[in-house]
Structure 1
């Protein structure tokens, strides 16, 4: 059984027991989350598609930790002009575990 859920503006395919990384969410570690914007559910071949969401189905999750992602280097250059600029960026992330999909 899996579901497609919208979390913090992004869509994720979630299954029970799976851990995913999302954009930073509100809440402390070990806090419980409930996501009710479920877009699709596959329960053993029986597929339900929402327009835009399915009512009555929720996904329960737990926040494991807050962390920062890998560093991304942003490098800009204009040839023959002597222009070079180097910046770095680390995205704030939240690691969550999917506890249950309630149909």
Structure 2
């Protein structure tokens, strides 16, 4: 069984026991999150597509950790003007584990 779920405006294909990185969630470590925006649920023999969401479908996940992505460097320069700026950015993510996909 798998599901397509929308988390923070992005769509993820999830199964039970999957671990994935999602945009930072406001939850503590080992807390359980429930996602109601399930767009599609597929069993072995049946596929249910929502309009826009599947009624009664839920995905439960457990927060494993809060991490940051690799650093992205932003370098700006204007030639012959003695201007250059170097900045870095690390996007915050939450690592979750899918514990249940239910209809």
* In 2, Cα distance between equivalents of 1:46 and 1:76: 52
* In 2, Cα distance between equivalents of 1:21 and 1:29: 14
- Deviations 1:31-50, CA, capped at 9 Å, x for gaps: 01111100011111421111
**SS of residue paired to 1:53:** coil
- TM-score when scaled to structure 2? 0.90
- Deviations 1:35-81, CA, capped at 9 Å, x for gaps: 11000111114211111111111001000011111101112234555
Structure 2 portions without partners, runs of 5+: none
Alignment pair present for 1:10 and 2:10: yes
Tell me the CA shift for residue 84 of structure 1. 2.8
Q: What's 2:41 paired with?
A: 41
- TM-score when scaled to structure 1? 0.90
* In 2, Cα distance between equivalents of 1:14 and 1:93: 17
Equivalent pairs counted in the alignment come to 103
Which protein is richer in strand relative to its size?
A: 1
* In 1, Cα distance between equivalents of 2:100 and 2:78: 51
Structure 1 portions without partners, runs of 5+: none
* In 2, Cα distance between equivalents of 1:55 and 1:72: 40
Distance 1:43 1:80, change over 3 A: farther
